[in-house]
């Protein structure tokens, strides 16, 4: 979409971090599924040109606020979890559906609703609900634009600390972005924006209440974005691990995030060393190698301990009704969505570590006339076998995650593991043809389910 003419920078360019060209003030929304001949959807051009959006007339809007949350819950939260989105005081939701419980509390707030709710959260809730339920691309785009405009117009967030309504609104828009094609940039801007607000607010603000649940729900998104961008994240610091979770019993997935929180920093360091090899000392590379090795060993030891205690998954013959080709082996089934999500990411993080060790071994095996110490050499053939084996396990777990009962949470949580496995198999298309075909069909399945951004997020 193009700029709305506000100076010195237009609303949507400021939000998305783009260079503003306000000499072209009209908005044009483009949809791959548009029925118009040129692929663009014209939506109340005159009003949108001035940065305003007309109220939605959907029957979804005419219903109660509760009905909007029910629509989101039914479309997004796995069937096994829908009974637990309103957790009791001492309960810990197994999935990041905890934020839906907070959303329900905020939406069910005072009647008549507070001006804060109407101004900030209502447009975002409506946008997400319509993205999940509406068949009209134009309606989805317009409601999304209205929600963006509402957030851009909110001055309270600039004057006061981050509040639950604003954080919940951003979460709604992040999920709505998954429904649009080519949303990688929009997702990154939303996640980076809320990350900045979290960090500025400080960890003490997230020790309890709605903001704690929202922060916990955001942590997987913050970690995924940091890994994809290969940039260090504030959630790796000791205070951001200990303080917000001091009164929270973390799930396995949250514990996994705690363990790998330093991985984005290691990725950033590896890129820096590769860009400036002449300025990098061998001791720095050795230290980075050791950090990757230690993280990989910690992941492997944890996996071994869980396998001895309660692995939570097993091989099971396929009984899926999905129109997908046979996976490269017997599918893996899990005790619940939490274990499926945990193991998919555990394996993805292991693959990333092994791949990065391979990069370091290739780039810095010989340092001038001084090679690495004995034992630091990297066996490329062994590493290839390792990452291929782990990547196949990721594929074998996909059938569970994308089944209908997992709603949209299961498929959405599969994106980073799928992306990781795809990068491994795509290095040798001919040898890994079966795996590549399987991943392609899984991606197509997610698009059919409404996650139109999946090809851009998995294939890059």
Q: Which are the contacts of 39, defined by CB distance < 8 A and separation ≥ 6? A: 30, 31, 32
Integer angstrom CA distances of residue 125 from 43, 66, 93, 103, 166: 20, 11, 21, 9, 11
Q: Is the pLDDT of residue 240 over 60?
A: yes
Per-residue pLDDT at 27 exceeds 60: no
d(CA 407, CA 79) in angstroms, rounded, equals 7
Check residue 63 and give its pLDDT: 47
Predicted pLDDT at 52? 38
Check pLDDT > 50 for residue 378. Answer: yes
422-443 residue pLDDT tens? 999 999 988 999 999 999 999 9
pLDDT score, position 160: 72
15 vs 199, which has greater pLDDT? 199
Does the model's pTM come out above 0.85?
no
Q: Mind listing the pLDDT tens digit for each residue in 309-355? A: 887 899 988 766 666 666 778 899 999 999 999 999 999 999 999 99
Q: Are 150 and 120 in contact (CB under 8 A)?
A: yes
- SS3 assignment, position 315: strand
95-133 confidence digits (pLDDT tens):
455 677 788 888 766 655 567 788 899 999 999 999 998
In degrees and rounded to multiples of 5, residue 147 shows phi and psi of -65, -40
pLDDT at 83 over 70: no
pLDDT tier for residue 281 given thresholds of 50, 70 and 90? confident
Residue 55: the pLDDT is 39
Model confidence pLDDT, tens digit, residues 28-79: 333 333 333 333 333 333 233 333 343 333 334 434 777 888 888 888 888 7
Q: What pLDDT is attached to residue 14?
A: 46
pLDDT, position 156: 67
Percent of the chain with pLDDT over 90: 49
Q: Cβ neighbours of residue 182 under 8 Å, at least 6 residues apart?
A: 453, 456
DSSP 8-state secondary structure symbol assigned to residue 29: E
What's the confidence (pLDDT) of residue 113?
59
With a CB cutoff of 8 Å and minimum separation 6, the contacts of 210 are 102, 105, 106, 164, 168
Pairwise CA distance, residues 267 & 91, whole Å: 35
């Amino acid at each position: 979409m193009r700029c709305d003419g506000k100076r010195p920078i237009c609303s949507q360019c400021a939000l998305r971090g783009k260079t503003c060209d306000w000499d072209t003030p009209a908005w044009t929304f483009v949809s791959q599924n548009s029925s118009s001949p040129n692929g663009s959807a014209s939506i109340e051009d005159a009003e949108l040109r001035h940065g305003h959006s007309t109220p939605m007339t959907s029957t979804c809007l005419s219903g109660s606020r509760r009905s909007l949350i029910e629509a989101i819950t039914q479309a997004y939260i796995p069937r096994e979890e829908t009974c637990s989105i309103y957790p009791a005081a001492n309960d810990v939701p197994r999935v990041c559906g905890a934020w839906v419980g907070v959303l329900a509390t905020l939406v069910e707030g005072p009647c008549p609703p507070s001006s804060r709710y109407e101004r900030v959260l209502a447009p975002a809730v409506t946008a997400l609900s319509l993205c999940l339920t509406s068949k009209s691309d134009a309606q989805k785009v317009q409601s999304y634009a209205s929600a963006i405009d509402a957030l851009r117009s909110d001055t309270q967030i600039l004057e006061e600390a981050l509040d639950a309504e604003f954080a919940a609104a951003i979460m709604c828009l992040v999920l709505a972005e998954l429904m649009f094609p080519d949303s990688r940039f929009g997702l990154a801007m939303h996640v980076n924006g809320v990350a900045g607000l979290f960090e500025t607010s400080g960890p003490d603000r997230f020790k309890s209440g709605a903001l704690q649940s929202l922060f916990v729900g955001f942590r997987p998104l913050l970690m995924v974005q940091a890994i994809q961008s290969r940039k260090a994240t504030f959630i790796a610091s000791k205070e951001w691990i200990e303080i917000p979770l001091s009164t929270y019993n973390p799930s396995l997935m949250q514990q996994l995030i705690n363990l790998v929180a330093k991985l984005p920093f290691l990725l950033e360091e590896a890129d820096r060393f590769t860009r400036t090899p002449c300025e990098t000392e061998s001791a720095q590379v050795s230290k980075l190698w050791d950090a990757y090795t230690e993280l990989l060993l910690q992941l492997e030891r944890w996996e071994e301990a869980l396998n001895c205690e309660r692995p939570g998954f097993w091989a099971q013959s396929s009984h899926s009704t999905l129109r997908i080709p046979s996976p490269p082996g017997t599918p893996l089934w899990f005790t619940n969505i939490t274990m499926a999500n945990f193991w998919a990411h555990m394996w993805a993080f292991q693959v990333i570590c092994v791949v990065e060790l391979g990069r370091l071994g290739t780039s810095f095996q010989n340092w001038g006339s001084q090679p690495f110490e004995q034992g630091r050499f990297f066996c490329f053939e062994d590493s290839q076998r390792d990452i291929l084996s782990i990547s196949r396990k990721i594929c074998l777990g996909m059938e569970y995650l994308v089944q209908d009962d997992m709603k949209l949470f299961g498929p959405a949580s599969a994106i980073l593991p799928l992306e990781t496995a795809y990068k491994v198999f795509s290095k040798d298309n001919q040898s890994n043809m079966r795996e590549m075909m399987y991943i392609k069909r899984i991606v197509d399945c997610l698009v059919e389910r409404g996650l139109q951004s999946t090809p851009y997020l998995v294939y890059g």
